[in-house]
Structure 1
């Protein structure tokens, strides 16, 4: 089972073994660069022996020249003592507070450089000192000339940066060079000086750059990278703070404390400009203690450990340490108790390691196990650095503690990466689920739409069937019933049965014509009417004149409305044939507005007897034709009227709107 992206142990693959071999080879190569090797340049001289003299001088500042120095450096009677390099002068674990104001302990180192080591080269000879360490000032002289000295704070100096001095012009060619190193140290602090290298810059440059990177610049670069990642984590926390993502905020705070805890690795020859007490408090108390506390909490989160009492104890310990050592309170002289402060970091460090190991036992994942091994490795690394700070062991080795937290930061990046990949997987699965559901909904909607279309078709057919049945019943059915009654009652002489049957056929044809698609074209509808009724009119002795012109389409002209128009015009023409005695009929169209509403008109003019219809309320019984015309016109939203046609005849006008509400 995977938790926070860490799965259970699996066999190590060959690809992973190859990657680890490459990493170890790269680290070995970096460490090898620390040794001066350059085949293209003359070999450099490695100075492993010097002469030591303890001066009674009480001055912190180095003299400008050895000739005018208060120290008897150049006197023949000076008791020099031969010592091997690296050389250390022991330091006390803690010194009295008054030692910071006492005169320094001054030690001089003298080294002889043969002329062969100063051979001319394109970049010239250099002096390379891998490491020196003390709380005080250091100066380097070539013969009688001051070439290099520390500046800024005496306590927080550039001890982690290797010395690189250009000897160009310091001594004539083919002449032995005498180097003097002056080290003024605080009382009880002691000091350490590594071996020295003298020779062409080409032979020493790679070694100096590698050590500068490992001792100072690499620490600065890594902490700067952690801080950038921490700022990114802070932005993530601000964006997701409502979701309980406290791990991102914790990582940001830890990156800040990490930068503070490594400030002393970043000091150059000019210093930081902070008071020594505050610098010590920020670097060794707030930075280191805060970093240990955040690392402890970070391990609790990723290992899913609660440990409320241990958390309270850690908070109390770190809070008390920060409060007691706060510079304004003046309870402790930090600059004289730095070794003791380093020992105070051991308890939270041990707790952090214990939490990492306990989490690995509880979780049993390869990630937690790897982190526990890394933390266990930090234990000997911490003792190594404590010994190095106390000038024990090989003082030319490199502080390794700054690189211990690489494991925690790598673990955070792995967690962030795992969560990011998991979020992508969740998003992909969500998209796939949404696509599947969308496809299902689309299929359901398509099926529903098809059912609705089927229902609409059935409803349309039923409506159309009912309309046709109603029209056939009211029109052709009524005429057929009339013809049937005439035949049954023997009234053939009084009623023209053939004429009634012709009207029935016309009704049927008109009903069928109304079903043809018209595309809102009124003229096409009138042409259909002319085709159906023209022969009948001509058979009755009427001349039909067709004077229509183009009119705009009527968007609302569907089959039902078309049938209404045909029935209206059919009724008008039938009345003309039966009752007017006309000989000529003229059908015309035009575009005409009525009451400000745009529309079209259809006019039917005849030359028969004038006709003036009675009002609707005065219609005689049995005369339903005029009522049907008026009711159909009302359904169409139009208007109709009968008017005299001049000296003779009548003009029927049907007005239809272009747009119907």
Structure 2
């Protein structure tokens, strides 16, 4: 039942069915007084009253007096329905203001003539003889005026009003939202999708752009029905609406050309030329029609565009029959249907004086929008499938390369480990040669000379043993941990300090590891400290040894070895141990400072 009511409302809206409610009265006779350009005209008229046809598209005002006779005053509320009233209007009944549509003192702004209007009449205001007084202010070229009035019980009038409103306003909003969704999807695809051909640079897909422009323009065109107070004043808003209409069918034509694959032909240049010509002439035609109060400019432009697209639709439909594809036939059928509906709208609304008719294009465009959306989504799915295949192929190639790289990395890692082991063996051999080997060689020379005492020989052998132990300890030193390094040296050498009657003062802070000291630097630093301690044992004749470790304020550490021995002159005394200290300090980038005098010798290592 609801479906039948909606169908009946749509047919009534289109003028295909007479009024079904017997109690509703249609008022057509009126007395009218008009003021146009300061001239007052009075007389009788028959509604509907098409302002633009009556006054050549000029602005003005009119007062309509319409009698309503009833057999007896009703006990229930009445209502009055206008299919078109305005552009702005006041509705009076028996001297009482019932409703006001817009501000009569603001021309070229609000427009209430685009949608049906409904006014409630309280029962106590109705008499046997009643008089409606309708004050209308109309803007030139805006299809203002007054339709016939439908008066009757409030329930029946309201039902009729809602039926028409749903089809005209809500239907337009629904179609505009649909166009917005399709347009946004198409534009997003145009931004994100790129097509490439062999030997040509990549470019964006024009099919998506033309579809997006067409649907966004149509959304703007249909949204006008719901905007009683548009953002631009008239006639600028009318010019924008004409441009939106031109953008819709020009974008649709380009879309059809892309769907058929004709964009690669020479005809595409001519189609683009015609499209640009229509777009560039749309605004001047609308401006001339609205400012010169001559609708012939816009009617002629609409007529030229309509017949041009009728010819294009015929050629396109014939092409779809010669080489049929699903997309081509679908677009051709929707396009031909819309072109025929557009011709009907031009003939009924533009070329004739029919005032109450509405455009059917707002409904028929849904078919073209559905076809457009279907093709856009289908093309996107095909492109996505191709992209997935390409990505799968690329992924397979990447995996193959990754496996090859992994094998190469494994070989390099194995080679690096072998090089590391070789370097470690080389270091151990060098340390043994420079440390243990040199001390054993010295012990052999001492024995061969026969001049060395047993104490000297014992000292040399002990140094050799300490060197060997430290070489082994160096393999497990934590990187950057100076506290552990010094503790290890103390563990190895403290018995020798006690045997030599040297008191050890331990003043070492617990410091966090220093990141700049790797394993190699730690080994060099270990031998530097060992060399300094060995010099104290062999040459200083000291009774007290002090080891200090402090953190530096700006980062790093300061390590000091201090003894109270006899001292020496660092500039004059040239010992192999001192030269080794300087070489190792330079190798790891630390600062070595030596100061010595009788009773105090300081070896300071600054690590920054």
- TM-score bin (small chain): 0.5 to 0.7
Q: Deviations over 1:354-375 (max 9, x none)?
A: 5764786799765554433322
> 5 Å matches for 1:216-255?
216=169, 218-219=171-172, 223=176, 254=214
Instruction: Confirm whether residue 311 of structure 1 aligns to residue 272 of structure 2.
Output: yes
Q: Deviations over 1:254-297 (max 9, x none)?
A: 56754786698568699x9746xx8877656x554454323323
CA apart distance, 1:137 = 12
Specify the alignment match of 1:548 in structure 2: 505
What SS does the corresponding residue of 2:420 show, helix, strand or coil?
Answer: helix
TM-score (norm 1): 0.58
| Higher relative contact order (Cα pairs below 8 Å, separated by 6+ residues) | 1
Stretches of structure 1 that go unaligned for 5 or more consecutive residues are 1-24, 37-42, 63-68, 74-79, 81-86, 487-493, 538-542, 618-625, 645-650
Of Structure 1 and Structure 2, the greater helix share is in: 2
Contact 1:148 1:165 survives alignment (8 Å) = yes
What SS does the corresponding residue of 2:153 show, helix, strand or coil?
Answer: strand
What SS does the corresponding residue of 2:468 show, helix, strand or coil?
Answer: helix
Would the alpha carbon gap of residues 289 and 128 (structure 1) be closer, same or farther in structure 2, given more than 3 Å must change? Answer: same
TM-score (norm 2): 0.62
CA apart distance, 1:468 = 0.5
CA apart distance, 1:476 = 0.3
What SS does the corresponding residue of 1:600 show, helix, strand or coil?
Answer: strand
d(CA) in 2 for partners of 1:166, 1:100: 31
What SS does the corresponding residue of 1:544 show, helix, strand or coil?
Answer: coil
Specify the alignment match of 1:471 in structure 2: 435
d(CA) in 2 for partners of 1:368, 1:498: 111
Instruction: Confirm whether residue 205 of structure 1 aligns to residue 158 of structure 2.
Output: yes
Instruction: Confirm whether residue 375 of structure 1 aligns to residue 335 of structure 2.
Output: yes
What SS does the corresponding residue of 2:560 show, helix, strand or coil?
Answer: strand
Would the alpha carbon gap of residues 197 and 349 (structure 1) be closer, same or farther in structure 2, given more than 3 Å must change? Answer: farther
d(CA) in 2 for partners of 1:263, 1:565: 88
Task: Please tell me the root mean square deviation across aligned C-alpha atoms, in Å.
Answer: 6.6
Contact 2:21 2:156 survives alignment (8 Å) = no
Instruction: Confirm whether residue 128 of structure 1 aligns to residue 81 of structure 2.
Output: yes
d(CA) in 2 for partners of 1:355, 1:419: 24
Specify the alignment match of 1:402 in structure 2: 362
Contact 1:588 1:602 survives alignment (8 Å) = yes
Stretches of structure 2 that go unaligned for 5 or more consecutive residues are 13-18, 195-201, 551-556, 586-591
d(CA) in 2 for partners of 1:611, 1:281: 104
CA apart distance, 1:228 = 9.8
Specify the alignment match of 1:162 in structure 2: 116
Would the alpha carbon gap of residues 566 and 256 (structure 1) be closer, same or farther in structure 2, given more than 3 Å must change? Answer: closer
CA apart distance, 1:319 = 4.8
Contact 1:253 1:294 survives alignment (8 Å) = yes
Would the alpha carbon gap of residues 641 and 119 (structure 1) be closer, same or farther in structure 2, given more than 3 Å must change? Answer: closer
What SS does the corresponding residue of 2:507 show, helix, strand or coil?
Answer: coil
Would the alpha carbon gap of residues 208 and 641 (structure 1) be closer, same or farther in structure 2, given more than 3 Å must change? Answer: closer
Whichever of the two has the greater Rg, that structure is 1
d(CA) in 2 for partners of 1:264, 1:561: 85
Would the alpha carbon gap of residues 586 and 497 (structure 1) be closer, same or farther in structure 2, given more than 3 Å must change? Answer: closer
Q: Deviations over 1:78-131 (max 9, x none)?
A: xx9xxxxxx999x9xx99x99779xxxx99998866659x442xxx221335x4
Q: Deviations over 1:296-318 (max 9, x none)?
A: 23433455533212332454466
d(CA) in 2 for partners of 1:460, 1:391: 100
Would the alpha carbon gap of residues 214 and 250 (structure 1) be closer, same or farther in structure 2, given more than 3 Å must change? Answer: same
Q: Deviations over 1:518-571 (max 9, x none)?
A: 65343542442243586xx5xxxxx62434232458977844444455456556
Would the alpha carbon gap of residues 453 and 364 (structure 1) be closer, same or farther in structure 2, given more than 3 Å must change? Answer: farther
Q: 1:632 aligns with which of 571, 580, 583?
A: 580
